[in-house]
Structure 1
């Protein structure tokens, strides 16, 4: 057996041991009924085996470090990182500047925007999907689901990529379209509302991937999904999450 083969076997063995140790420790945390805030995970997908309640967990990744995330463990197989939540009459002000939207704001257990740089870090590697769940004014629920979702770099001003729509109704991100648009805030206008040089973000008092201006904007007040709605929750997960 040559030295390269031996090194490959050793590396794989170490990876398997580390993965096994990680799973064992995670199992112990749940067995001893630790609260979610006491458990550190590598992905919300790791929670699928244990089917815990949705909530705030500590997640540690190579690119992002350790940070609190809200994991949706119940919807469509679970494993979702919630990146935005808004409701009609929210006490969280979404009329923020560029820096606020890059860094994130709000409260994870109520309404918030997680932050463009964090979302970019999440979707920078691998393939991700995105879902928007929303409650209409008649109290019924619906959703939009995309098999492709990513946010570009800061130097490009965080352009949006969506594709593979499989949700209910119309592909609202394609209707205006907002796919491919740079992010806009009241103090950083990247939209295509050319008439009178107006600013969609300033008019809607919310940062978003504005075109001229939008058919969906979960950050407006009230949140908008082809018309005003009562509640929106935007979430993402790796495409291989269900078989993780």
Structure 2
């Protein structure tokens, strides 16, 4: 009887130690305990411990579940659809990415489905500009997970700013802001990102929008040159960029047009003050937003 008690104590100590070690890199998803994913896991196997199960959660794995009684391990690539009730399972989320999410798509994949203000970490810790960035995440438009790099709805903030302001960003999240050209560069470099442009005109009930399949900007040394390809569905057409792909970013020209990638055509400048123009026609705009998401 005493031996069995000692074994129980040792077992509990091992479990506690294992969970302490796991907590350094994984977040315990208590609300997913005693549930299993309804779809097939990436891998299902027997393991000798919680730590062994965690070590199997490598490339492509963001969640693992472990059953201490049955010594079974399951690996998953999503936190969605844990709906099958079955006792004995504990679930853990890999935090190296999700504790410091790079963008709103990462936040969305963690399970945040409500639009609002979140903190993202676009930069590596070794980067000289490293800092957390507050941003509005649109979790409802076209599948969700969109990072808002620009938003305007009050027109109370002056967007006719200098180069430095546009580089580091300015404004008030979530109302009116520019996230910063260096953040945009960091979010879009070496990744294929889509751009969703949305504009609301006065006296028009519906939003006008345009989706581009590929959007990126270069670094500051190349003047944040715009690369824009694969225009998809939408009602704006190229009204907001007017063949500006390949143009460098320009700021503080004193024209009240804000910073932008100006081409040789008069366009719908989303960062302009007081008015927006399209083919020399003044248009009243009540709100704008520019959203990006990794494809």
TM-score class, shorter = 0.7 to 0.9
User: Does the Cα contact within 8 Å between 1:69 and 1:108 map onto a contact in 2?
Assistant: yes
Instruction: Please say if 1:172 is aligned against 2:236.
Output: no
Aligned to 1:203: 255
Residues 54-73 of structure 1 mapped to structure 2, 5 A cutoff: 54-61=115-122, 63=124, 66-73=132-139
Given the superposition, is the C-alpha separation of residues 211 and 15 from structure 1 closer, same or farther in structure 2, using an over 3 Å criterion? same
Distance in 2, matches of 1:234 and 1:57, equals: 16
Give 1:66 deviation, angstroms. Answer: 3.1
Judge which range, 129-138 or 42-51, deviates more: 42-51
Aligned to 1:121: 186
Output the TM-score relative to the length of structure 1.
0.72
The structure whose Rg is larger is 2
Structure 1's unaligned 5+ residue stretches are 1-11, 28-38, 187-200, 240-244
Distance in 1, matches of 2:187 and 2:103, equals: 10
Give 1:173 deviation, angstroms. Answer: 5.1
Distance in 2, matches of 1:73 and 1:170, equals: 24
Segments of 4+ in structure 1 off by > 4 A?
Answer: 21-27
Give 1:136 deviation, angstroms. Answer: 1.1
Instruction: Please say if 1:50 is aligned against 2:111.
Output: yes
Give 1:45 deviation, angstroms. Answer: 1.6
SS in 2 for 1:106: strand
Judge which range, 69-78 or 226-235, deviates more: 226-235
Q: Which structure: greater strand fraction?
A: 2
Instruction: Please say if 1:20 is aligned against 2:63.
Output: yes
Distance in 1, matches of 2:221 and 2:292, equals: 22
SS in 2 for 1:216: coil
Output the TM-score relative to the length of structure 2.
0.61
Structure 2's unaligned 5+ residue stretches are 1-54, 65-77, 80-90, 125-129
Give 1:52 deviation, angstroms. Answer: 2.5
Q: Which structure: greater helix fraction?
A: 1
Aligned to 1:9: none
CA RMSD after TM alignment: 3.0
Instruction: Please say if 1:99 is aligned against 2:164.
Output: yes
Residues 83-162 of structure 1 mapped to structure 2, 5 A cutoff: 83-87=149-153, 90-140=155-205, 141-162=207-228
User: Does the Cα contact within 8 Å between 2:227 and 2:245 map onto a contact in 1?
Assistant: yes
